[in-house]
């Protein structure tokens, strides 16, 4: 796998509530999709942390509790800034690749009783339609061909490995369950192989959000 499937723009400074990152936009030469990498200025101890974060407007921007995406994004950015690494924000991955309008249709089906996997399939889509070729291309272009992957989803590590990225460690990105998303998390665990310890919301709410300062093993 090479970086030839993507083209990168200029590297710019991106000040955030977590710290100042180095940001770079990337364009997929095949699909035209635009992605973003944000890289910590701190050197990693050992292999760098990498988070592939799929676009989720409702969770990332609006703070929706129907999923854990926004909270995972915040947790990952804090961890990466402190311990060194890169977050790749993948656009076009809304609703695990079905798009925003279809995600709203899937939500309607979920409100009628379907789980998140059944809802996507009832709309004629696979449970997960995401592609990680451009993500692998971005990592190669950044010189990140051996990484610690910040994820609960084994599919991501399998796909990156298939595309030539070596995964030295998988670091969990668990955040506490909420009453609004506990079924969603259970479905990811039970039907999509995500490595999650889903606690009952009444217990989880007594726990603090994981502290990025604690970090992964070296």
Has 131 been annotated as catalytic?
A: no
* HEC assignment per residue over 135-174: HHHHHHHCCCCEEEEECCCHHHHHHHHHCCCEEEEEECCC
Encoded tokens for 14: 């991106």
Has 146 been annotated as catalytic?
A: no
Sheet of 20-28, strands arranged across = 6-15, 20-28, 34-39, 85-90, 49-54, 146-150, 166-171
CB atoms under 10 Å from CB of 190, counted, come to 13
- Residue 103 region by backbone torsions, left for phi larger than 0, else alpha for psi between -120 and 50, else beta: alpha
3-state secondary structure at position 119: helix
For residues 45-74, b (16+ Cβ closer than 10 Å) or e, as one string?
Answer: eebbbbbbbbbbebbbeeebebbbbbbbbb
Taking every pair of Cα atoms in the chain, the longest distance, rounded to a whole number of angstroms, is 48
List 28, 51, 60, 130, catalytic entry: 130
CB atoms under 10 Å from CB of 31, counted, come to 12
List 74, 118, 128, 131, catalytic entry: 128
Catalytic sites, residue numbers: 128, 130
């Amino acid at each position: 796998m090479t970086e030839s499937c993507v083209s990168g723009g200029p590297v710019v400074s991106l000040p955030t509530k977590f710290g100042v990152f180095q940001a770079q936009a990337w364009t997929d030469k095949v699909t035209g999709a635009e992605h973003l990498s944000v890289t910590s200025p701190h050197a990693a101890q050992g292999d760098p942390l990498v988070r592939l974060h799929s676009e989720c407007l409702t969770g990332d921007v609006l703070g929706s509790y129907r999923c854990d995406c926004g909270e995972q994004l915040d947790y990952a950015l804090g961890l990466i800034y402190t311990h060194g690494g890169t977050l790749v924000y993948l656009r076009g991955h809304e609703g695990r690749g079905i798009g925003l309008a279809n995600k709203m249709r899937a939500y309607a089906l979920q409100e009628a009783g379907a789980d998140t996997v059944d809802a996507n399939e009832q709309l004629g889509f696979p449970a997960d339609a995401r592609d990680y070729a451009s993500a692998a291309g971005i990592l190669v272009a950044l010189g990140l061909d051996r990484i610690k992957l910040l994820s609960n989803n084994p599919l991501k590590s399998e796909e990156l490995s298939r595309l030539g990225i070596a995964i030295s460690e998988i670091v969990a990105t668990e955040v506490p369950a909420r009453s609004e998303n506990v079924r969603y998390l259970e479905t990811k665990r039970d039907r999509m192989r995500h490595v999650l310890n889903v606690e009952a919301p009444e217990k989880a709410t007594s726990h603090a959000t994981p502290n990025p300062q604690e970090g992964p093993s070296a």
